[in-house]
Amino acid sequence: MEQPKSFIEQALSKPEELEVGWPWRLLVLACFIFGITLVIFLGMKFGYEPYLDKKIKTLDAEIDKLNQSFTQSQVDNFIKFYSQLSNLKILLNNHIFGSNILKFLEENSLKNLTYTGLDLDVSRKETKLSGTISSYEPLAQQLEIFRQSPLVKEVFLKKSKKNDQGGVDFEVTLVLAKDLFKETPSLPNSFSISTSTQP
């Protein structure tokens, strides 16, 4: 006796039915897209390309006309002048402004500090400072101001001693950042620490 088929077996044993309308609709859509693409291509090829060619020829003619209006000596003089400007720009970009150290010291020094000497070695980007300050506490504050500045890489206290007037004579070496020697350096003021001075 034959057993009745389950619903799943019946569904799988049925032949696949394809809808008749889809294939020809896809064909019409593909033909439509192809037609639009073909029209755009032909418009670009036979409409826009000749227009651009005509514009290019017009501009070339204007350039030729301008070229003929200058003599060869004028062209040579212009090239020479442009070359000089280019070389001048390179020189100015590489020029070292050693006087920026004075502005830096003015903006980053305590009021009760007196500089007695400055030796600047631009090639090593170092400066040796000597000076006098009221006591060791403001000297420590001044060294900290230098350390906090982004324009100073390293600070070395070479010598310090009490002088006959009750102050402190010192010698400091600063290793400077190369930005300090540029034409328009950013010279931030490093007085963000407490710089209270005693009378």
Per-residue pLDDT of 2-34, as tens digits, reads 556 666 666 666 666 555 556 778 888 899 999
The separation between CA 29 and the C-alpha centre of its own chain, rounded to angstroms, equals: 51
- Please give the tally of structural domains in the chain: 1
Residue 196 lies in a domain: no
Burial, 176: exposed, middle or buried (Cβ in 10 Å; 0-12, 13-18, 19+)?
buried
Instruction: Please tell me what DSSP assigns to residue 135.
Output: -
How confident is the model at residue 158, as a pLDDT? Answer: 93
130 assigned to some structural domain: yes
Structural domain including 160 reads: 100-181
Position 33 in a domain: no
Q: Which residues contact 154 (CB under 8 A, 6 or more apart)?
A: 174, 175
What residues of the chain score a pLDDT lower than 70?
A: 1-22, 95-96, 183-199
Single out the residue of 116, 181, 117 nearest to residue 152, CA to CA.
181
Q: Half-sphere exposure of 79 toward its Cβ, with a 13 Å CA cutoff? A: 7
The encoded tokens of residue 152 equal 């100073």
161 domain residue, yes or no: yes
pLDDT at residue number 36: 94
Question: Does residue 108 fall inside a structural domain?
Answer: yes
CATH code (residue 138):
3.30.1360.100
Q: What is the pLDDT of residue 192?
A: 45
